[in-house]
Amino acid sequence: MAIRRRAALGGTVNVHVHIAATTWEAHAVNADPAAQRRLLDLAAVDAELTRAAHRRRSLPELVEVERADESLQSARDSVVAAETAVSDLDRDIHKLEAEIEQVRTREDRDRGLLDSGSISSGKQLEDLQHELATLRRRQTVLEDELLEVMERREATAADLERGRVELIDIEQRRLDAVRRRDEALADVASIEEHGALERRVLIGELPADLVSLYERIRARNGTGAALVREGRCGACRLELDRTAIGHLRDAASNEVVRCEECGVVLVRTAESGLSTPSDLSAESGR
Ligand SMILES: [Zn+2]
On whether the CB atoms of residues 7 and 252 are closer than 8 A, the answer is no
**CA of residue 239 to ligand 1 center, whole Å:** 9
On whether the CB atoms of residues 15 and 259 are closer than 8 A, the answer is no
Q: Which helix (H) or strand (E) holds 205?
A: helix 122-205
**CA of residue 11 to ligand 1 center, whole Å:** 15
Question: Measuring CA to CA, which residue among 7, 33, 24, 22 is closest to residue 285?
Answer: 33
* pLDDT tens profile 54-67: 999 999 999 999 99
User: CB atoms < 10 A from the CB of 120, how many?
Assistant: 7
**CA of residue 278 to ligand 1 center, whole Å:** 25
* pLDDT tens profile 198-226: 999 999 999 999 999 999 999 998 999 99
* pLDDT tens profile 213-260: 999 999 998 999 999 998 899 999 999 888 888 888 899 999 999 998
Q: How far is CA 234 from the centre of its chain?
A: 32
**CA of residue 12 to ligand 1 center, whole Å:** 12
Q: How far is CA 200 from the centre of its chain?
A: 29
**CA of residue 238 to ligand 1 center, whole Å:** 6
pLDDT at 21 over 60: no
Q: What percent of the chain has pLDDT over 70?
A: 86
What count of residues does the chain have? 286
On whether the CB atoms of residues 69 and 177 are closer than 8 A, the answer is no
* pLDDT tens profile 103-115: 999 999 999 998 9
Region for residue 242 given its phi and psi (left: phi exceeds 0; alpha: psi -120 to 50; beta: otherwise): alpha
**CA of residue 199 to ligand 1 center, whole Å:** 23
**CA of residue 46 to ligand 1 center, whole Å:** 17
Q: How far is CA 52 from the centre of its chain?
A: 14
Full strand arrangement of the beta sheet holding 257-258: 232-233, 225-229, 265-267, 257-258
